[in-house]
């Protein structure tokens, strides 16, 4: 009886250690040239942000790269190119940015 009390927890610990060692997380394929992988991280509030591809190449004509993000319903949306609408005269482009909470605000046209 004493032997099983010691043996069972030891086997459980050993089994979990093998399970965790075989768990491998790989990054998705690079969407194209000019992309840089941003490793997963946690925000100061403890929200886990998964890794994503960040576009660092030259600006694209009438297109903006939207990095992967969680949408309003909580589903993960992969990074993608977004077509920009033609602005009205005098508009200024405000690029997208991340808030301190980790949310992504997409770029937009601002009219002075």
Note whether residue 87 is domain-resident.
Answer: yes
Note whether residue 42 is domain-resident.
Answer: yes
Residue 45 domain boundaries? 25-110
Tell me: the pLDDT tens digits for 12-23?
666 655 554 455
Note whether residue 51 is domain-resident.
Answer: yes
Note whether residue 41 is domain-resident.
Answer: yes
Count of the separate structural domains present in the chain:
1
Note whether residue 35 is domain-resident.
Answer: yes
Maximum C-alpha span of the chain: 84
Mean pLDDT across the stretch 70-76?
Answer: 85
Split at pLDDT 50, 70, 90, the class of 6 is low
pTM: 0.42
More confident residue, 8 or 1: 8
Average pLDDT, the chain: 77
Note whether residue 83 is domain-resident.
Answer: yes
Q: Can you tell me the distance from the alpha carbon of 26 to that of 23, in angstroms, rounded to the nearest whole number?
A: 10
Residue 107 tokens read as 């770029």
Mean pLDDT across the stretch 64-75?
Answer: 83
Note whether residue 3 is domain-resident.
Answer: no
pLDDT of residue 20: 46
């Amino acid at each position: 009886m004493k032997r099983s009390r010691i043996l069972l927890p030891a086997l459980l610990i050993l089994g979990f250690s093998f399970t965790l060692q075989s768990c491998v997380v790989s990054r998705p394929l690079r969407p194209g040239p000019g992309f840089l992988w941003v490793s997963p991280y946690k925000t100061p509030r403890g929200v886990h942000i998964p890794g994503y591809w960040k576009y660092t190449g030259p600006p694209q004509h009438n297109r903006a790269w939207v990095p992967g993000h969680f949408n309003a319903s909580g589903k993960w949306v992969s990074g993608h190119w977004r077509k920009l609408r033609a602005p009205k005269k005098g508009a200024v482009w405000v690029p997208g940015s991340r808030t301190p909470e980790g949310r992504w605000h997409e770029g937009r046209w601002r009219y002075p």
